[in-house]
A and B are shown apart, each in its own frame.
Chain A
Amino acid sequence: MSQPSPQGATALALNIRGAVKHFGGARALSGASLAVRRGTVHGLVGQNGAGKSTLIKLLAGLHTLDEGVIEIEGQAQDTLTPHLAEELGIHFIHQDRLLVPTFTVGEALFLGREPRIAGTPFLDRRAMQRQAAAILDRYFGIRLPNSALIADLSTAEKQIVQITRALLHSPKILVFDEPTAALVRREADILFSLIRRLKEEGITIIYISHYLGEIEALCDTVTILRNGIDVATLAVRDTSAAAIASLMIERDIEEMFPKRTVAIGDPVLSVSRLSSPGKYHDISFTVRRGEVLGVTGLLGSGAKELLRTLFGLEPALSGEILAGGKAVRFKRPSDAVRDHLALVPEDRRGNGVALDLSVTENTTLAGLKRFTRLGFLDPARERAEVDGLIERLQVKTSGRDALLRALSGGNQQKVAIAKWLSRQSEIYLLDEPTVGVDVGSKVEIYKLIGELAERGAGVLVLSSDLAELVGITDRILVLFRGRVVKEFVSSDTSPDAVLAEATGSLEGRRHVG
């Protein structure tokens, strides 16, 4: 199998061994290895935070290793830079990244390696157009003028530009990072046949995806990362999506989830046949008082957009929402807040809490009317409220006047939730409530979610941490490509089963094959 190469005989295009990488105190990689045989399609999977992107950035020369070895074509590379990586023939196809929107196609394709008219400093535009057109025609069967502006291209066309740029430089290794996340099915199919063709031409492919169905259909080998280490490398024909999924998930944290029994009451949020073209379709569900409903789905599943619609951040085209028994159509978040909805957004520092406002100012912002008399603030009532919430939620802070900037991520998140307790909201939408939160605070946030339900609130948790979702919810809706594909009763399921649905293991086989 192995072919002779100038560097010596090796079957491995890439061999990373024992990669260790720290960021500050956090360990992103703790001895990960990745061996990729030449001319194969090699899948790389793992949950968010497993270390996939760190590993890829090492390969791209964007990070340097703390410990370990990277060998490319049998040659150890200690000082990889983005430029050197490209020289060695490693190219990256990212989603939506690395393309400057104000560039033309020609500029994006040839940036840094522009052909010149022989003996002059002038760009050879004709050569550029000729070279680009040759590749575009050969691999994609399309024409894309070099003068077109990147900003005017569709996502799929941008991706074609990225791939074409790589192909112009005769690549040896192509890394696809979540390439189908924003593609429609037909575009994804074109991409898959392209990848197969590139493989036939002897190019080594590293394929990163959350869609295990794609891994099954496309890859020869798959490496599963978990907690910064490669837990397994398997031949795809000898395994299954379910087996891969179970390797991705952590299993010793079940005791993190406090058990509780809550009486389920009346419906507090009902959604029926809600649709937003291109985002989600025909979504129906009900959240009752005392109930915690989990929602999960990959990027592009429509789960995020659904949550945004529920809070008035983006419109739905059709369908109905009942909040507290009343038909509502929120045009903006203030409408949703008026009807007792609360959103704890994923982007905590951008939208959840203001780092330069104090604990007090953040906590009472949503329900400020309660602390106002005739337009004037009532500082005594505000103090009592905030001190009470700091105590109840065990927010670790030097005091209510401290700026949020001085709090840890977990404590900032508690303030983001306290804001809605102070508003006396009844329907809580929690978007990735424990992202970037330490384990101790995680457990406290889980307890808090349980308390919300006990007090009769309806809670909807959107999370990609499936162990968390199964642990703290009563039911779980799984969205895949804009539709609810499955509803689980949390006590009767496992993170593996949910993951298999969310990654479309079955669905993926159908549409790729």
Chain B
Amino acid sequence: MPSTILYGGASRGRHLLDHLVRYALIAAIVTVFAAFSAAAPTFLAPANLQSILVNNFTLLAIVAIAMTFAVSAGGIDLSVGTAIDFASFTFVSLVLAGQPVPLAVLAGIASGALVGVFNAALIAGIGISPFLATLGTLFIGRSLQQLLTNGGNPVYLPPAGVPEAFRFIGHGTVFGIPFPLVVVFLVIVGSGVALSKTRFGRVVTAIGIQTSVARYSGVAVPAHIAVTYVLTGAVAAIAGLILTSTVTVYIPSSGNAFLLNAIGATFIGTTLSPLGRPNIPGTVLGVLLLSIVANGLLLTGLNFYWQQVGTGLLIFVVLSISFINQKAKRRA
């Protein structure tokens, strides 16, 4: 990936430490990768590597990219899980009702976007802080799902009667490449271009860095913020569709499982960029790092509960690097 896409092409760091920071994520990924290769013989097996990408990376990457939109504009979206769940529920319900799969896909994405519209109304319309607004949405979304499913019962699709198009989303391949990987690739490229190559992305970045300056420059700040939350909901919905198709079941409130990792990956990517801005490539590398750690720790036979300790330590290391770098910059 060319470095101009990596960091928005705005600045080329000239300091050695900037380079260290720029490559710190890649260095961390290589280090972790090498460590697990040595520690767990099965880690390097092609089947495992594919599993990292398909099982660990794909869904989290999409959710973290969704999160990156909200964070870019200076906000946060705690309700990405709600968008995932609503998309999943709509998708499953329409397929069960015998509707065509493409229609169900569109309706699923629309319902995720609708969660975003709700957030946008609270944040850009009323002016509630993003943290509280999306926390409220998270609670409401959880209750609604309980109500829709008689207290949280999963909605299964009968294995026999599943349309081929539905199965394809989670299990199909294109030229031998798993379809979810194709989707995640398109989401990465599309989002990366949107944030770093378009007027929209530039304006959102300016809002995220200093809202008042954007406002005083004549930028329609609320409208742009609103769009980021709708985008966040819509992109998160894509993860909901793949998840549902993979497991052929809708489990209420299961989307929230991605929330903390998505925030972690987004902020790892933000912190370890030379300009300290949220950016898609940084987020993707953050997700890759978390995915490798999660998979590797599992393979080494470590207790499941230790995985969280690993993730936590990782975040501390990342923050320390960034902190040292900033201190050095201040001294310079």
Contacts and interface: CB of A to CB of B under 8 A. Distances in A.
A210 to B, nearest CB: 27
Contacts of A358: 10-11
Contact of B216 (A343, A361, A368, A376): A343
Interface stretch (B125-133, B170-178, B205-213, B229-237): B205-213
Interface residues of B, number: 25
A338 interface: yes
B197 A345 contact: no
Contacts, number: 85
Interface in A344-364: 345, 350-358, 360-362
B197 A366 contact: no
Contacts of A357: 10, 205-206, 209-210, 213
Contact of A333 (B10, B197, B218): B218
A46 B259 CA distance: 57
A362 B10 CA distance: 11
A338 B197 CA distance: 24
A334 B200 contact: no
A351 B220 CA distance: 15
Given A354-B209, A379-B9, A401-B11, A361 B202 contact: yes
A351 B198 contact: no
B216 A356 contact: no
B10 A377 contact: no
A337 interface: yes
A208 B209 CA distance: 39
B327 interface: no
Interface size class of A (residues with CB under 8 A): 35 or more
A375 interface: yes
B15 interface: no
A377 B209 contact: no
A356 B202 contact: no
A100 interface: no
A419 B217 contact: yes
B1 to A, nearest CB: 18
B187 interface: no
B217 A361 contact: no
Give the interface centre of B197, B206, B210 by most chain A CB atoms within 10 Å.
B210
Interface in B213-231: 213-220
Nearest to A425: B218
A444 B32 CA distance: 55
B12 interface: yes
B199 interface: yes
A361 B206 CA distance: 8
A354 B206 contact: yes
Interface string A308-352: 000100000000000000000000111011100001010000111
Contact of B198 (A333, A350, A365, A375): A375
A369 interface: yes
Nearest to B215: A333
B197 A365 contact: no
A386 to B, nearest CB: 12
Nearest to B210: A354
A182 interface: no
Interface in B158-177: none
Contacts of B203: 365, 368
Contacts of A366: 217-219
Nearest to A364: B202
Contact of B197 (A351, A361, A369, A376): A376
Contacts of B197: 376-377
Contacts of A53: none
B124 to A, nearest CB: 13
Interface of A: 311, 332-334, 336-338, 343, 345, 350-358, 360-362, 365-366, 368-369, 371-372, 375-377, 379, 401-403, 419, 423
